[in-house]
Structure formats: C-alpha cells, structure tokens
Structure 1
C-alpha cells in the first residue's frame, strides 16, 4: 500500500515537470530552441571532454607524486620446488639421482 503512494507521488512530480517543460519549450521559436540545444550540447560536451582529460591526466597522482613503476622481483624458490612430483624429496626420491 505504501509503495503505491510513493509511485503516485513520483508520477505526479514527473507529470508536473513534463507539463512545465512542454510549456516552456512551446513558447520559444524553433530558431531559439535550436540555439538552446546547441549551447547545451557544446557546454555538456566540453564538460565531458574536460572531465575525461582531467581524469586521464591525474591517473597515478597521489599527493603530488607520480606513480613509480618498479621492475618485477624474482620470487624466491625453495630447494624442494620441482615441477616433477616424483622428483620431490617428500615422495621418497632424492633430487640427486
């Protein structure tokens, strides 16, 4: 029952906003409407490009430092490491045959 009330309120707000927007857009001429659309397009497009470039530029920056790349270090292997399970000391065979 409570969700129906919420849906009803949401639909009322959507209808109100839709009516208001239609009235506002219906009052302006097609030339002005095109100008508004183009201004909004360039504004939001420029904002999108700025955010993208800014994000790419700031990748790896932390506290004013750039990310430092290090070489991969070799993992230390144990003496008993072997890819052949029969060559392992725990199976009763020596590695020195």
Structure 2
C-alpha cells in the first residue's frame, strides 16, 4: 500500500511541476485568456449537459413510468411476535 502512495505522490509532483513550468512561461495576459477560454468551455459543457438531461427526462423509447398500488405483504399465520407460539411447533396459542 505504501508503494502505491509513493507512485501516486511522484506522479502528482511530476504533473504539478510540468504544469507550473508551462504556466510560468506564458505572460499574465495569455494566462488570463487561457483561464477564460477554459471557463467558457467547461461552463458551456455543464449547461449543455444540464439542459439536455432535463429535456430527455421521461423520453426513454416511449416507455412511461408505471405506477401501481402497494400490494399487501403475505403474512404467515400465527403469532408474529413469538415464532415458537405457533401451532406448527406443537404449542397451543391459547395457554
């Protein structure tokens, strides 16, 4: 388990170092432009996914959700509190 953490930490450090080097090379104006483009791209994608999922609610191959009444659960005969107080166990329920 310790080895896995070590590999994960190395990969995170490597990615962090590469990202910092890449971002350090560009000017602050370009950095702002990259951030705004990414914000618009991910924001637009988020809005699209939200609107499309709301639009497609209930449109599954023409199938509609079927609602039915709750059926009564079948119960065994006898005493439900004390299972030994049943006629099939040889005890009388009227003792």
- Normalized against structure 2, the TM-score is what? 0.66
- Within 5 Å, which residues of 2 pair with 1:36-55? 36-55=34-53
Query: Could you tell me which residue of structure 2 aligns to residue 9 of structure 1?
Result: 7
* SS in structure 2 of the partner of residue 61 of structure 1: coil
Length, aligned pairs only: 70
Post-superposition shift, 1:69? Answer: 8.4
Structure 1: where are the runs of 5+ without partners?
74-97
- Normalized against structure 1, the TM-score is what? 0.65
d(CA) in 1 for partners of 2:63, 2:51: 16
Q: Extract structure 1 runs of 4+ deviating beyond 6 A.
A: none
Q: Cα RMSD between the aligned structures?
A: 2.1
Residues 53-73 of structure 1: per-residue CA shift (max 9 Å, x gap) = 00000000011x274788x88
Match of 2:29 among 31, 46, 50: 31
Query: Could you tell me which residue of structure 2 aligns to residue 84 of structure 1?
Result: none
Match of 1:20 among 8, 18, 21: 18
